[in-house]
A and B are shown apart, each in its own frame.
Chain A
Amino acid sequence: MIALLTVIISFSAASIIGFIPGKNTKLIRSLALLAALATFAASLVCYFQYLAANSQFQQVIDLAWIPAIGAQFKVGVDGLSISLLVLTGIVAISGVLFSWELEDRANQFYAYYFALIGGVFGVFLSLDLFLLFVFYEIAIVPKYFIIAIWGSGKKTYAAMKLVLFSFVGSAVALFGLIALYYGSGQHTFDLIQLMQEGEFSETFQLMVFPILFVGFAILAGMWPFHTWAPTGHVAAPTAASMLLAGVVMKLGAYGCLRVAIGLLPYGAIYWAPVIGWIAVINIVYGALIALVQKDFKYVIGYSSVSHMGFVLLGLATLNEVGLMGASLQMFSHGIIGALLFAIVGTVIYTRTHTRQLYELHNLMARMPGVCWAFIIAGLASMGLPGFSGFVSELHVLIGTWNQDQFSIWIIILAGFGILATFTYTLVKIHEAFFRASQSHSTTESYAPMTLAEKAGCALLILFAVAIGLYPKLLTSILEPSLAPILEALAVAAG
């Protein structure tokens, strides 16, 4: 029940805040922060309960919903979903903190914001594919309004592009879900039942797996369907880019792992080398394109594409270490991506009023605190030891090395991708912060970080470091949840 509270709180917050007059910004943002904190607290309770019990799925609620098609309202959590619930809670809180100064139609903004978050929580909780799909769709709609109303630049184009991509992705996935419904012979959408009793023939798996995987992976930013991500992230207001990069992209990856790989292991084994190749293209391609971006936010946008490549690569390894790496990377990129977007989109932008790298001068002297915060975020993003990114990338690389189906070039390219990530991050840090001014002779300091900004940065950095230093925090809950998927894979491999 506590897990379901996250959804209930989010949707209640959305409807309550939506009806508060927009002028009461203080009340609105306090309520928003309170709601975000409450969802986070609920997710933490789930975390500790799960640690204590360590069973398969917990807090399962099973209600009849549309008996005619066998759809139930069935929710429950395991370690994988809990890790993402916690992530969503953290990003939700910091998103509110970094939108602290937002005054324009704040009531509507937070109504959409929490509707989106509620949809995301719902996806992670659903144990029924039909329900999962409904939440998946719910999460798409608010994104359009948030970007189109509060966004910047080519915002309507970006919003439309993002929503169309999302819908196309979910339409493809829906097709796969219906195939599962019939292919199992069970006429049910129940995820657990399908996993335990669904008997999908090998031909069926070979054909349906790519449909499901691609359908979900579009939302995870898989190449060549990645272009919605940079455009959408850049046009979105900060809190929304944080959610998009931090959490929404994980919806896709979560679907790939839970549904596509979990239910169709034989198909997964067949297609793994292809996914592996696409994943390293994601990694290297995203990194190289990030290297030449002039707009700071686009750099981060493409870095998300690159980092999601590591999630896909980890998934394609289909082994214990690699899947663990993918799950860790989902969490890690969620935190770090959100932090990067927050600093570039809000902290730096509100002070300099530009995102163009060539317009930034002497920032290290003029706002040292902000620069250090970004440098720390950048180090985390480039996978420096001590941060969560290192742990997850190391897992993915070891997993990749152990995957016999992969060509040696996949691991070499993945290593090269790490190098390229490192390079563009460092190059962009230098372009943004250390370039001496040429035409401008101004050296006056910018305003220091506000309390809300500091709190947001501290929260995100805290989690990146905590997982980096003590990965057991996550691995101990992920391990039992990955076990049944690995078991299914082992059976399929014969």
Chain B
Amino acid sequence: MNAAFLYQLLFLLPLLTAAVIACFLRTKHNLAANFSVLSGLIFSAIALFLIYVRPEGDWSVTWLTLGGSFELKFGVLFNDLSALMLLVLIIVGFLVQVFSLGYMKDDLGKARFFAGLSIFMFAMLGIVLADNLVMIFIFWELVGFSSYVLINHYFDKPSAVSASKKAFIVNRIGDFGFLLGILFVYWQFGTFDLVELEERARLSPGYLSTGMALLLFCGVIGKSAQMPLHVWLPDAMEGPTPISALIHAATMVAAGIYFSARVYFLMLPGMEVIMWVGTITAVFAAVVAFGQNDIKKILAFSTLSQLGYMVAALGLGAASSLQRHGEHAVISTGAAVAMYHLTTHAFFKALLFLGSGSVIHACHHEQDIYKMGGLYGEMKITSITFGIGVLAIGGFPFLAGFFSKDSILHLAHESDFNLVSYLLFGTTALTGLYMGRLFVVTFFGKPRSAHAERAKENGPAIVLPLVILGILSVIGGYEWFFGHTFEAVIGAIPNAEGPFKMLMIITGLLFSVGGLIVGWLVWNPSKDSDTLENVAPGLFKALVAKLYFDSIYDWYVKKVQDRGALILGFLDQLFITGLMVRGTAEIIGLMGIVSRSLHGGNIGGYVYWFAIGVVVLGAIAFGVL
């Protein structure tokens, strides 16, 4: 079968699904949901065929031409890297759709929700397959839009509304730099096409610059929620939980990582900055996670932290001497490691989010972990799968997270940046600990609210995706799992050997299991309040406030930007409308008054003016004036 046809089908399917729902099924909620899942199934089947069979053929159409100098195409660049990202997208995407059948069962906006999901799948597909920068930017914005609509799902809740706005605007701030970066690339290399760019960048590396790399990285900072634009992601948890799992944990926020891996050659000059941004984000988010009591917010900060690891890996790849040049190894080590962690993270973080969704659903939309507790007894499957997720993210040996985190730490270890290595290493200990706190407080001890007491395990639509993701979180890190399909990516990952490998196994065991044990000891599940809050209330308060980033931004918006705009508006009224426009009118009016006063109709006045006129004319005539 021709690949071009399949690509077209792949793009059309989610778009048509959204259109059909928006036009015909707005009020037929169940029909819309089933239709969407069915379409998702076909979508996944086609994608799997493309990934594993790789049929021949390209697809590219010219979208815009202008005088030969400027050409924009719509096309597909399908390689091992995009195949891997597509695999993640369809696995998590399809499971989340199935999960949503259960989770959104009685929701009044179900049709809108599923239409939004379809638009998201379409937009994300575009980022994954796009063969040029403008196309990436276009779908990048569409992803932002679908995320906006989905966060805004509960639009009668003011917090959800403001979260959606914040997410959209903060993303756009990053995209401001991103767009300038894309234009910069075009100005230097004269093309948007990824393949041509790679060619030209290799031939004339002098055109690459730190400025270009960092402008492009602005987009990554926005979309992948790195410091200092991380503030939107925790707020985005106001959206429905399946959305948090798919968009705000597994795929959309990872798009920045994927993009960086895709244009790795353009980012090279900025890698040191990129590494530091990732490292700081990883540490910062892990610390702040201790101050959150909302189950989804904790997971959101853990997502931030893990994204920080991926970004750090990108940067470390350039700094490290490790290169495993296999036969197919075409992408750089850093990008490969980042993509590896992206993949395993997608599995276990989607698992954790859907698990939290299961808990939230069972507790009637209670999200405070101190109003949960004792759920293990009634919700065995959710608890066990959630536990697997906790161990996987903590780096328990031979689970998915262990391998990918191991390779990041390995890169850091081999680099010249000891501080980065220590920080990333230390953060894995923090990860184990805050996840331990979350797990222990949520599932053990006594129920701390009426909702938690009445909680029951959910139906198969919710539980089945958990089990599948649980299995993936166990096996998703092994090389045999990937086979040779993604050789260009997986083959480029360096393997730790010898003593370092032993060290990783031991610390992985120590931090993940130790996190649980210490978590149990410190945050005793039989207590009703947070230990840290009792011991160090000042610190806890600062952590609850997310270390004041939001407050500073709010201050800027309210006091600087809004006031600046107000003053500008005032000046517009005063100077332009007032002084210039009114002023001109007044001067003309004044001239009118003066000339009118000359024509007062008073005979005496006319005689007087006449006399002055005679004198002046006489003076001129006689040469006096």
Contacts and interface: CB of A to CB of B under 8 A. Distances in A.
B368 interface: no
Given A386-B142, A398-B186, A475-B64, A411 B568 contact: no
A390 interface: yes
B416 interface: no
A365 B184 CA distance: 44
B173 interface: yes
A226 B152 CA distance: 36
Nearest to B145: A384
A418 interface: yes
A292 B566 contact: yes
A394 B134 contact: yes
Contacts of B564: 288
Given A288-B568, A422-B172, A434 B161 contact: yes
Contacts of A416: 176
B158 A411 contact: no
B581 A320 contact: no
Interface stretch (B29-37, B65-73, B321-329, B407-415): B65-73
Given A385-B141, A394-B134, A423 B187 contact: no
Nearest to A408: B180
B568 A471 contact: no
Interface string B147-163: 00000100110100110
A312 interface: no
B572 interface: yes
Contact of A324 (B66, B156, B179): B66
A139 B183 CA distance: 40
B397 to A, nearest CB: 45
A288 B66 contact: no
A356 to B, nearest CB: 16
Contacts of A289: 565, 568-569, 572
B173 A427 contact: no
Interface in A156-199: 161
A385 B137 contact: yes
Interface in B146-201: 152, 155-156, 158, 161-162, 165, 168-169, 172-173, 176, 179-180, 183-184, 186-187
Interface string A252-291: 0000000000000000000000000000000001001101
B542 interface: no
Contacts of A419: 172-173, 176
B133 to A, nearest CB: 11
A471 B565 contact: no
Main secondary structure of the interface of A (DSSP, over half): helix
B64 A471 contact: yes
A359 interface: no
Nearest to B69: A320
B63 interface: yes
Contacts of B566: 292
B141 A472 contact: no
Contact of A224 (B65, B145, B576): B576
A411 B186 CA distance: 14
Contact of A415 (B145, B176, B562): B176
A415 B180 contact: yes
A479 B161 contact: no
Contacts of B186: 398, 401
Interface string A27-55: 00000000000000000000000000000
A364 interface: yes
Q: Which of B67, B184, B186 gathers the greatest number of chain A CB atoms within 10 Å?
A: B67
A94 B165 CA distance: 31
Given A390-B138, A419-B176, A436-B156, A398 B70 contact: yes
A479 B566 CA distance: 42
A402 interface: yes
B581 A479 contact: no
Given A386-B138, A398-B70, A426-B168, A292 B565 contact: yes
A256 to B, nearest CB: 21
A99 to B, nearest CB: 28
Contacts of A430: 161-162, 165
B593 interface: no
A471 B561 CA distance: 35
A379 to B, nearest CB: 7
B591 interface: no
B576 A436 contact: no
Contacts of A58: none
Contacts of A394: 134
Given A321-B66, A415-B176, A434-B155, A227 B565 contact: no
A451 to B, nearest CB: 17
A375 to B, nearest CB: 9
A335 interface: no
Contacts of B67: 320, 479
Interface string A398-434: 1001100000000110011011001100110010001
B71 to A, nearest CB: 11
A391 B488 CA distance: 35
Contacts of B179: 397, 415, 418
B138 to A, nearest CB: 4
A385 B137 CA distance: 8
Interface string A467-485: 0001110010001000000
A12 interface: no
A475 B66 contact: yes
A398 B192 CA distance: 12
Contact of B183 (A231, A397, A422): A397
B577 interface: yes
A73 to B, nearest CB: 34
Contact of A385 (B64, B142, B165, B565): B142
B580 interface: yes
A25 interface: no
Nearest to A160: B585
Contacts of A321: 66, 69-70
Given A291-B562, A385-B137, A412-B180, A479 B568 contact: no
Nearest to A472: B64
A293 interface: yes
A419 B141 CA distance: 13
A364 B183 contact: no
B162 A411 contact: no
Contacts of B184: 401
Q: Which of A289, A324, A390 gathers the greatest number of chain B CB atoms within 10 Å?
A: A289
B126 to A, nearest CB: 10
Given A292-B566, A320-B67, A385-B142, A426 B165 contact: yes
Interface in A312-352: 320-321, 324
A471 B63 contact: yes
Nearest to B176: A419
Contacts of B568: 285, 288-289, 292
A436 B141 contact: no
A360 to B, nearest CB: 14
25 contacts: A224-B576, A224-B580, A227-B572, A227-B576, A227-B577, A227-B581, A288-B569, A289-B569, A291-B561, A291-B562, A291-B565, A292-B568, A292-B569, A379-B145, A385-B141, A385-B142, A401-B184, A401-B187, A418-B179, A419-B172, A422-B172, A423-B169, A436-B156, A472-B65, A479-B67
Give the 9 A-B CB pairs with smallest separation, nearest first.
A385-B138, A434-B161, A288-B565, A292-B565, A291-B565, A419-B176, A292-B569, A289-B569, A401-B183
Interface of B: 63-67, 69-70, 134, 137-139, 141-142, 145, 152, 155-156, 158, 161-162, 165, 168-169, 172-173, 176, 179-180, 183-184, 186-187, 561-562, 564-566, 568-569, 572, 576-577, 580-581
Given A395-B66, A430-B161, 10 more contacts: A224-B580, A289-B572, A320-B67, A364-B155, A397-B179, A418-B179, A419-B172, A419-B176, A430-B162, A475-B66
Interface of A: 161, 224, 226-227, 231, 285, 288-289, 291-293, 320-321, 324, 364-365, 379, 384-386, 390-391, 394-395, 397-398, 401-402, 411-412, 415-416, 418-419, 422-423, 426-427, 430, 434-436, 470-472, 475, 479
